[in-house]
A and B are shown apart, each in its own frame.
Chain A
Amino acid sequence: MEANKKFMVGLFVAGALLLFALGLFLIGNSTQLFTKSFEVKADFAKVTGLQVGSKVRVAGMDAGAITVIEVPASPSAKFRVHVRIVETMHPIVRQDSIATIQTDGLLGNKFLDVGAGTEGSPPAPKNALIPSKEPFDLGDLMDQMSETVKNVNLLMAGVKDEVITALANISDVAHSANRLIKTSTPQVRAIMESSNRIAANIREISDGVRDGRGAVGALFNDPQLAEDVKKTIHDAGATVQTIRETSDRARSIITKVDDSDIVPQVRKTVQNMEQITLQVKAAVEKFQSASGEGGVAENLQRALADAHEAMSDLSDDTEALKHNFLFRGYFKQRGFFDLASINLPDYKAGKFAKGFQRYPTWIEAADLFEKDPKGVEVISASGKQKLDAAMAEVMRLPRNGPLIVEGYSAEGEASQQYLDARRRAVRVQAYITDRFHLRPAYVGTVVMGAVKAQGGAQFLDGIKIVSYYKK
């Protein structure tokens, strides 16, 4: 056989054996078989698939293999697992390192994980028994869950009656609360309505203040008054200053007096004043009679009483002037309207609120009123809607003139017509005043009674809201 063939065969065999050795080395290296190592032991009640040759990791790093698993001699004893760990890991394998059986990934092999110990604990000596933690098993978890569910069922069965009773009590409480709410609803509604009314009144007051009505309103809104007040305060300051100067001057004079011969002169003057006083006293005695009656004082008192009476008469006369045709226009120019005593003929003649634009709105009585069970005419719900619609138009106008509600009625005798017309006007006045928060002083009523429609024979039956305004 030629040498070349032998060489080839040698190469083939040697190469293959080398590869075989390499494979053995790689496999052995993965289990740290050819590395200097030491052995420790750990006890487990269950090994859950751990086998001789299974990997050992120290703090997650491959560090050896399981060499022996001793089967316990009795059921209460534990498996003793002999663990071979590479010497390089010895410094972190301490006496308190804990061994646990874990799974490599979700479906991987079991391996033993030895945790790194604590700094305070000495390194684990060779063949030491290190502490272990029993492996977590899904079956154990299921058993625990089953036991828990069983306990919960028992608990539920135990408290079932109490729960039913509690639910019944809760239901009773809910019913009681419902009844209470239903019972108290009218009172609550009444309270709310009262609150609304109070709020409306407060708003009216604040509107009045804002519009300058009353002393407070004037103070807030009248610039002239504010200027006067400012001036008064300024004058008071000036007066105080003057008094201070006067006082200083008086002090100066007193000082001068003390330093001069004025004092004897003053004393002489005082003596003269005493004499004068005595003379005045005598004159006063003459002014008042000794009996207390008659005399100059009584005459003066009588004169003052007469003056008071004269002023009272003047006030009446002034009030009369407001209504006098000569001065009424003046007062109306000032914004004064005596809505309480509107003269019907004058009103009909169009003499009321001259210079103001009129915006009348007519509403039929049939659309506005209905009879209550007692037969009294009251504003119906549809009537309120019509009034609201009419007032919505009126409220767009400038609010610088009075609002008059004219009442019309043609049923019955004249007295009945008057009463019906007046009642209608008053009801509507009250409604719109309250509904639209109008100032009562600017909403008046006029009882028109039986009035025929213009160009017709029919009597008017209803109310007319007339808004006076200036553009």
Chain B
Amino acid sequence: MAGAESLTGFAHFLVGIVINEDPKSKLASDGSPLLERIIGSVRGSIEWFGGLSLLGAQVIRECFRRPFEFGEVIRQVFEIGWRSTPLIILSGLAVGIVLSMHTRATLERFGAAAMIPTALAFALVKETGPLITGLLISGRVGAGIGAELGGMRVTEQIDALESLAVNSFKYLVFTRVVACALCLPLLTIIMDFSGMLGGFIAEAIISGSTLRLYFSQAFGSLAFADFIPATLKTVVFGLIIGGTSSFLGYNATGGAAGVGRAATQSVVFSSVLLILMNVILVKFIAFLFPVAGG
């Protein structure tokens, strides 16, 4: 791979920033002049983004080309979606309970305890649910994809697939990216309802609220523009997690160390990109659906 070396350098650079390593020392250790190394890193970064973009374009192209690999997609949905469901449900319940307690403490000061279900629903559906789901999946699935594909790359299993005339990109990368894009909204919905269920449990214990009243109040103030765009934006989160992790794993080099690095970088980059993309998406949704107010 032509950009693999520069990609690795850029990855080191970003990882160093994230995990508080000094990128200068890394660059200086190569013995090259500092300015030259920085220019090289910037170039490598651009190449990295170019590679990722090409991967995304290839994924889109593969969507319309046979074989569609439904079996592998379903298998990946099982791995990514089904196996993540317990984690999402548990996390959702915990987040719902904690949010409910915090919201109650705040709203009670203003005599607005009746607004707790509404406030919790707004917080979960519009932002907390999608973002936490994305971060959890990037941690669990992104690391898995990066390590799996990285392992296959360094052990030349991907080369073996290629030698067997199997489209390794479609079989390995496309299926994972599509599965992530499919699973993230579904997991987000589960996260939203789990969070609201957790909030209801907390409210039922504290104030004795009924399930019907609680969910009626929770969804009473929500609009479609609050629920649908916020849920569907996680498709983008899924594409980011699947694409970044697959890209890093698919292009991994350096043996076992490279596999580990690919796994770590998959989590870090997908999380960072997910958060950054969330900012853009929130603004974009607010632009498209002004009633939702972002």
Taking Cβ atoms with an 8 Å cutoff, the residues of A that contact B are: 1, 5-6, 8-9, 11-13, 15-17, 19-20, 22-24, 26-31, 51-53, 62, 105, 109
Residues of A within 8 Å of B193, CB to CB, are 19, 22-23
Main secondary structure of the interface of A (DSSP, over half): helix
Number of residue pairs across A and B with beta carbons under 8 Å? 80
The reply to whether B189 and A19 contact each other, CB–CB distance below 8 Å, is yes
Please provide the chain B residues from 208 to 226 with a CB less than 8 Å away from any CB of chain A in the complex.
Answer: 215-216, 218-226
A1 touches B74 (CB 8 A): yes
Chain B residues within an 8 Å CB radius of A27: 219, 222-224, 226-227
CB pair A5–B219 under 8 Å, yes or no, is no
- Using known A-B contacts A1-B74, A23-B227, determine if residue A12 contacts B85 with beta carbons closer than 8 Å: yes
A-B contact pairs, 25 of them (CB 8 A): A1-B71, A1-B74, A5-B75, A6-B74, A8-B82, A9-B81, A11-B82, A12-B78, A13-B81, A13-B186, A16-B189, A17-B186, A19-B189, A20-B189, A22-B193, A23-B192, A24-B228, A26-B218, A27-B226, A27-B227, A28-B224, A29-B219, A30-B221, A53-B291, A62-B220
Closest Cβ of chain A to B232, distance in Å, is: 10
Q: How far apart sit A84 and B187, CA to CA, in the bound complex (Å)? A: 34
With contacts A15-B190, A53-B223 known, is A20 near B77, CB below 8 A?
Answer: no
Say whether B187 contacts A16, CB under 8 Å: yes
Interface of B with A (CB < 8 Å)? Answer: 71, 74-75, 77-78, 81-82, 85, 112, 125, 182-183, 185-187, 189-190, 192-193, 215-216, 218-228, 231, 291
Besides A13-B186, A16-B189, A30-B222, 15 other A-B contacts (C-beta < 8 A): A9-B77, A11-B82, A16-B185, A16-B190, A20-B185, A20-B186, A24-B224, A26-B219, A27-B222, A27-B223, A29-B219, A31-B223, A51-B291, A52-B291, A105-B112
Shortest Cβ distance from A33 into B: residue = B224
Q: A19-B190, A19-B193 are in contact. Are A9 and B74 (CB under 8 A)?
A: yes
**A22 cross-chain contacts in B, Cβ below 8 A:** 193
- Given A24-B227, A27-B223, do A8 and B190 touch, yes or no (CB 8 Å)? no
Kindly state the separation between the CA atoms of A8 and B216 in the bound complex, as whole angstroms: 30
**Bound form: Cα–Cα A295–B257 in Å:** 187
Of the candidates A13, A26, A30, A51, the one whose C-beta lies within 8 Å of that of B77 is A13
Task: Please name the 4 residue pairs, one residue from A and one from B, whose CB atoms are nearest each other, closest first.
Answer: A16-B186, A26-B219, A30-B220, A12-B82
B82 to chain A, nearest CB (A): 4
Residues in A neighbouring B215, C-beta threshold 8 A: 26
Query: From residue B294, how far is it (CB to closest CB) to chain A in Å?
Result: 15
Q: How far is the CB of A108 from chain B (nearest CB, A)?
A: 8
Expressed in whole angstroms, the Cα–Cα distance for A30 and B218 within the complex equals 10
Residues of the B chain whose Cβ atoms lie less than 8 Å from the Cβ of A19: 189-190, 192-193
| Complex CA–CA separation, A27 to B183 (angstroms) | 23
CB distance from A38 to the nearest CB of B (A): 22
**Who on chain A is nearest to B215 by CB?**
A26
Complex alpha-carbon distance, A26 and B211, angstroms: 13
Query: Is A9 a contact of B82 with CB atoms below 8 Å?
Result: yes
Report the separation of the CA atoms of residues A17 and B189 in the bound assembly, to the nearest whole angstrom: 8
Asked if A12 contacts B75 (CB within 8 A), the reply is: no
Question: Does the CB pair A109–B221 fall under 8 Å?
Answer: yes
When C-beta atoms are compared, the residue in chain B nearest to A28 turns out to be B224
User: Cβ of A53: which chain B residues have Cβ within 8 Å of it?
Assistant: 223, 225, 291
How long is the Cα–Cα vector from A12 to B77 in the complex, in angstroms?
9
Contact yes or no, B192 A12, CB < 8 A: no
Chain B residues with Cβ under 8 A from A5's Cβ? Answer: 74-75, 78
Nearest CB in chain B: distance from A57 CB, A: 12
A405 to chain B, nearest CB (A): 88
Report A-chain residues with C-beta under 8 Å of the C-beta of B77: 9, 12-13
Task: List A contacts of B224 (CB < 8 A).
Answer: 24, 27-28
Knowing A16-B186, A16-B187, A27-B227 are in contact, say whether A9-B78 is a contact too (CB < 8 A). Answer: yes
Partner of A20 from B81, B82, B223, B231 at Cβ < 8 Å: B231
- Enumerate chain A residues within 8 angstroms of B187, measured Cβ to Cβ: 16
**Bound Cα distance from A28 to B215, whole angstroms:** 13
Residues of A with C-beta under 8 A to B220 = 30, 62
B109 → A minimal CB distance (Å) = 14
Complex: how many Å from CA A13 to CA B221? Answer: 27
Q: Which residues of B contact A109 (CB under 8 A)?
A: 221
* Bound complex: CA A82 to CA B226 (Å): 22
Task: Kindly state the separation between the CA atoms of A273 and B219 in the bound complex, as whole angstroms.
Answer: 142
Measured in the bound complex, the distance between the Cα atoms of B74 and A51 in whole Å is: 43
Q: How far is the CA of A85 from the CA of B215 in the complex (A)?
A: 22
